[in-house]
């Protein structure tokens, strides 16, 4: 299948690790120009060293929770590559664990500022540029907590639900301008973020993290965790010309874990 991504410009937020890193790597293999951002310069340099064979990669230190950082991310992208064709909103996984009485207002505000407003900040600037060519893709990485509420995922669940709502609304509004907006929810994927979740689950249930992982796997029809590359393949497909009639949809990449119609 020809994905025709050469000469496209893609921004992957949170591209230094996990799902974002795997997505950036496949986009580079498909010869897109890729910009990755994350908060830690050390993480970015580590990612860059693993991708050193590609000369069409730009790294920009950016916390999507900070408006000025996001503006600089887009400024550097346009300066180096001239445009933005694809935005993968992936950064800032929300924390798992604390219950309602353990979360104070500042944690709620931080979670909303990072994941929900972070996605909004990036999307606004991406769409501004995409409108110039009447073409573009925005792919929002969400999570099953948006549709399957969980008492141990109190900030993440509502934020993911809000991002799903935003995805639908933006798809509706910008479809006429050739801008397609989709959401993708990964299931348990073997990343640093999911290792943190396992630690919480193990602590609460007073079991080992190995046992917590086995319990998770028991609930997954394919009986294993997903790899970041398996999510990245679906993201890159949604970013490509081959997904030209898909917008407003949520794609699940979860080994069948989410049991709902
Ligand atoms: N793994 C799963 O099973 C799973 C399940 C459902 C949903 N998801 C979603 O998938 C996405 C990626 O998660 P992952 O599992 O790949 O996580 P990960 O391996 O922990 O990677 C997270 C990436 O985001 C960056 N990041 C975090 N906060 C940021 C911020 N405020 N601004 C910019 N970059 C930031 C991190 O780098 P720095 O630390 O350097 O900033 C890192 O590059 C998240 O949106 C997460 O909610 C994952």
Residue range(s) defining the domain that contains residue 77: 9-253
Q: Is the CB of 121 under 6 A from ligand 1?
A: no
Q: Please tell me the distance from the alpha carbon of residue 58 to that of residue 36, in angstroms, as a whole number.
A: 6
Kindly state whether residue 261 falls inside one of the protein's structural domains.
Answer: no
Mean pLDDT over residues 101-114, rounded?
95
CA–chain centroid gap for 158, Å, is: 16
Q: How confident is the model at residue 1 (pLDDT cuts 50, 70, 90)?
A: confident
Residue 193, pLDDT score: 94
Query: How far is the centre of ligand 1, averaged over its atoms, from the C-alpha of 212 (Å)?
Result: 21
Q: Please tell me the distance from the alpha carbon of residue 232 to that of residue 240, in angstroms, as a whole number.
A: 12
Atom of ligand 1 nearest to the CA of 145: 6
> Looking at the predicted structure, is the pLDDT value of residue 4 above 90?
no
Condensed to tens digits (0 to 9), the pLDDT of residues 63-77 reads 999 999 999 999 999
Q: Is the CB of 17 under 6 A from ligand 1?
A: yes
Mean pLDDT over residues 139-154, rounded?
93
> Looking at the predicted structure, is the pLDDT value of residue 261 above 90?
no
Q: How confident is the model at residue 2 (pLDDT cuts 50, 70, 90)?
A: confident
Beta strand 33-38 pairing with 136-141? unpaired
Query: How far is the centre of ligand 1, averaged over its atoms, from the C-alpha of 91 (Å)?
Result: 5
Q: Is the CB of 16 under 6 A from ligand 1?
A: yes
Kindly state whether residue 260 falls inside one of the protein's structural domains.
Answer: no
Kindly state whether residue 207 falls inside one of the protein's structural domains.
Answer: yes
Q: How many domains does the chain have?
A: 1
Kindly state whether residue 115 falls inside one of the protein's structural domains.
Answer: yes
Kindly state whether residue 4 falls inside one of the protein's structural domains.
Answer: no
The residues assigned a catalytic role are: 153
Percent of the chain with pLDDT over 70: 100
Residue 260, pLDDT score: 86
Residue 132, domain CATH: 3.40.50.720
Condensed to tens digits (0 to 9), the pLDDT of residues 33-43 reads 999 999 999 99
List, in order, residues 6 or more apart from 184 with CB less than 8 Å away.
Answer: 139, 140, 141, 142, 231, 234, 235, 238, 250, 251, 252, 253
What is the pLDDT of the chain when averaged over all its residues? Answer: 96
Mean pLDDT over residues 215-219, rounded?
95
Condensed to tens digits (0 to 9), the pLDDT of residues 130-146 reads 999 999 999 999 999 99
Condensed to tens digits (0 to 9), the pLDDT of residues 158-207 reads 999 999 999 999 999 999 999 999 999 999 999 999 999 999 999 999 99
Q: Is the CB of 38 under 6 A from ligand 1?
A: yes
Mean pLDDT over residues 150-154, rounded?
91
Kindly state whether residue 258 falls inside one of the protein's structural domains.
Answer: no
Mapped onto helix, strand or coil, the DSSP state of residue 146 is helix
> Looking at the predicted structure, is the pLDDT value of residue 97 above 90?
no
Kindly state whether residue 2 falls inside one of the protein's structural domains.
Answer: no
> Looking at the predicted structure, is the pLDDT value of residue 226 above 90?
yes
Nearest residue (by CA) to ligand 1, atom 47, is 93
Kindly state whether residue 1 falls inside one of the protein's structural domains.
Answer: no
Query: How far is the centre of ligand 1, averaged over its atoms, from the C-alpha of 169 (Å)?
Result: 24
């Amino acid at each position: 299948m020809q994905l025709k991504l050469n000469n496209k410009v893609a921004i992957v937020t949170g591209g230094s690790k996990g799902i974002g890193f795997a997505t950036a790597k496949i986009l580079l293999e498909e010869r897109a120009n890729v910009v990755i951002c994350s908060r830690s310069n050390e993480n970015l340099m580590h990612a860059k060293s693993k991708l050193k064979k590609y000369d069409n990669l730009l790294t920009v230190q950016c916390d999507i929770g900070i408006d000025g950082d996001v503006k600089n991310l887009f400024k550097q992208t346009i300066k180096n590559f001239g445009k933005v064709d694809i935005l993968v909103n992936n950064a800032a996984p929300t924390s798992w664990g604390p219950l309602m009485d353990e979360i104070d207002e500042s944690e709620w505000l931080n979670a909303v500022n990072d994941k929900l407003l972070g996605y909004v900040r990036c999307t606004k600037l991406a769409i501004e540029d995409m409108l110039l060519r009447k073409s573009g893709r925005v792919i929002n990485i969400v999570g099953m907590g948006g549709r399957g509420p969980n008492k141990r995922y109190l900030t993440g669940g509502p934020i993911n639900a809000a991002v799903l709502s935003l995805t639908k609304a933006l798809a509706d509004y910008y479809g006429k301008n050739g801008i397609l907006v989709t959401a993708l929810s990964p299931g348990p994927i073997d990343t640093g973020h999911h290792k943190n979740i396992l630690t919480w689950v193990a602590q609460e249930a007073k079991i080992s993290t190995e046992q917590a992982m086995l319990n998770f796997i028991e609930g997954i029809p394919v009986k294993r965790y997903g790899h970041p590359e398996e999510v990245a393949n679906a993201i890159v497909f949604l970013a490509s010309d081959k997904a030209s009639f898909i917008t407003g949809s949520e794609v699940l990449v979860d080994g069948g874990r989410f049991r709902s119609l």
